[in-house]
A = this chain, B = another copy of it.
Amino acid sequence: MASDVAVIVGVGSGLSAALARACAKRAMTVVLAARNIDKLSALAAETGARVIACHAVDRPQVDALFRAVGEIAVPSLVVYNASYRTRGPLVELEPAEVARSVEVTALGGFHVGQAAARQMLPAGRGSIFFTGASASVKGYAQSAPFAMGKFALRGLAQSMARELAPKGLHVAHFVIDGGISRGPGDPRGGRGVDGLLEPAAIAETYLHVHDQSRSAWTWEVELRP
């Protein structure tokens, strides 16, 4: 019996891998969903995770993902980590790239959040977490598309939290306010010990929020290096 399933959408960053390891360590069944699953075999082997190809902006693929998940069990934790960004001077941005930034970063979050809520609501419990960034709360120059996507994802999370908390679902938004370390060889390591966030440390806070008693839920948390 697989009683405790975690679904992580948008694998690739160190955070998703750290979440997969942290969930596996507590004997959760892990499902990794990503558009490109070519590089996930090592992580899957390490965590015993099931890997499912899924482009989160394509609704039928999201529905298929959750049908597959549902055959295991109603998930207790769903995390949406996928994002896409294009950068540059505002006047030079490609409209199609801007649209893609909003679609992957925010609309994919809606698809996954809605599909997860549909499975969880009958059970009246489950956590749906969205990963934000500094750009979720502040629009930076030359980065309007990412701000649009991450602001929208935060609006989605707030709205879902307000609506679904009374029904037993814990929706939370995590503002990762800094760069995430990619490991020992990270070229940004020059920032020093305080320059980057360790994915494993972030994952611990995700799981703490997942563990919170319904009597004192966090809807949003900022994490800084």
Q: Report A's interface with B, CB cutoff 8 A.
A: 59, 89-91, 93, 95, 98-99, 102-103, 106-107, 110-111, 113-114, 117-118, 121, 135, 138-145, 147-166, 181, 193-194, 196-198, 200-202, 204-205, 208, 212-225
Contacts and interface: CB of A to CB of B under 8 A. Distances in A.
B110 A165 contact: no
A107 B98 contact: yes
Contacts of A224: 165, 216-219
A196 to B, nearest CB: 7
Given A102-B106, A143-B159, A221-B222, 16 more contacts: A90-B164, A91-B117, A91-B121, A95-B111, A95-B114, A139-B161, A142-B159, A144-B159, A147-B158, A198-B215, A201-B212, A201-B216, A205-B216, A216-B224, A218-B221, A221-B221
A111 B222 CA distance: 26
B198 A163 contact: no
Contacts of A151: 151-152, 154-155
Nearest to A163: B141
- Copies per assembly: 4
Given A155-B147, A201-B213, A212-B204, A99 B107 contact: yes
Contact of A162 (B121, B141, B197): B141
Contacts of A223: 216-218
A53 B192 CA distance: 43
Contacts of A138: 158
A98 B115 CA distance: 14
27 contacts: A59-B95, A90-B113, A90-B160, A91-B114, A99-B103, A102-B152, A110-B145, A110-B148, A139-B155, A139-B159, A140-B162, A141-B162, A144-B155, A147-B159, A148-B153, A148-B156, A150-B155, A152-B155, A181-B215, A194-B214, A197-B215, A197-B216, A198-B213, A201-B215, A204-B216, A217-B223, A218-B224
